[in-house]
Amino acid sequence: MNIHYKNTIIKTNHHVYEPAEDSFLLAEAALDQIKGSERILEVGCGSGIISAVIKNNTGARVTGIDINPYAAACTRDNGVEAIRGDLLNCIRGKFDIIIFNPPYLPTDESERTKDWINIALDGGSDGRQIINRFLEDAGSYLVDNGRILMLLSSFTGIEKVKSKMKSLGYEIEEKNTERISFEQLLVIAATKIR
């Protein structure tokens, strides 16, 4: 299937998260934030929709990383440089903005499936397992005053994520938000101030 969105055509793959409201909300927030030739990393790039939209609508330089090999390949097919890796483990260098639409759904053992789509959604029992692991390391990959742009959901415990960010030395701003049925989506910009 092809998705047409903001000067971009995205080819999807059935092993890869299909772009949804969260992807579009974060892509819009990213376009609002990017002003020039920032260096950008997208963690969990999936189909590459957010990175490709950035590449096609701004002067920023963008790289993607995803633990799912089909996602890294799909992102490359959609015109963005991408590698396979676990969060930031194989990343070198520093970035102006790191973007992440993480797996954020609270998921119990009984709900878990053995496929790549589970990896895209499964945030562990509280929904914050991958988010917390990412936040512990992200500061080392940001320039001074660099930012994280992250999608959060009311299912994930937004206040708990904000507290974690503050305790790690980030200043937080709430950006784009959207209600989808029983779920509130929110983009947080977290700027590294120490």
Ligand X SMILES: C[S@@+](CC[C@H](N)C(=O)[O-])C[C@H]1O[C@@H](n2cnc3c(N)ncnc32)[C@H](O)[C@@H]1O
Question: Under the rule (CB under 6 A), what is the footprint of ligand X?
Answer: 17, 19, 22-23, 26, 43-47, 49-50, 65-68, 71, 86-87, 101, 103, 119-120, 130
Taking the C-alpha atoms of residue 74 and residue 97, their distance in angstroms, rounded to an integer, is 22
Residue 3, H or E segment: strand 2-5
The minimum distance between CB 182 and ligand X, in angstroms, equals 18
Write out the DSSP string of 114-170.
SSHHHHHHB--TTS-HHHHHHHHHHGGGEEEEEEEEEEEEGGG-HHHHHHHHHHTTE
Taking the C-alpha atoms of residue 19 and residue 36, their distance in angstroms, rounded to an integer, is 25
Residue 173, H or E segment: strand 170-180
Question: Between residues 46 and 157, which has the closer beta carbon with respect to ligand X?
Answer: 46
Question: Between residues 88 and 165, which has the closer beta carbon with respect to ligand X?
Answer: 88
The minimum distance between CB 130 and ligand X, in angstroms, equals 5
Question: Between residues 73 and 171, which has the closer beta carbon with respect to ligand X?
Answer: 73
Among candidates 130, 127, 138, which has minimal Cα distance to 165?
A: 138
The minimum distance between CB 14 and ligand X, in angstroms, equals 13
The minimum distance between CB 156 and ligand X, in angstroms, equals 11
Q: Residue 70, SS3?
A: helix
Question: Between residues 32 and 86, which has the closer beta carbon with respect to ligand X?
Answer: 86
Residue 174, H or E segment: strand 170-180
The minimum distance between CB 194 and ligand X, in angstroms, equals 26
Question: Between residues 4 and 194, which has the closer beta carbon with respect to ligand X?
Answer: 4
Structure tokens at 147: 């930012």
The minimum distance between CB 51 and ligand X, in angstroms, equals 8
Question: Between residues 97 and 120, which has the closer beta carbon with respect to ligand X?
Answer: 120
Among candidates 122, 102, 127, 103, which has minimal Cα distance to 112?
A: 122
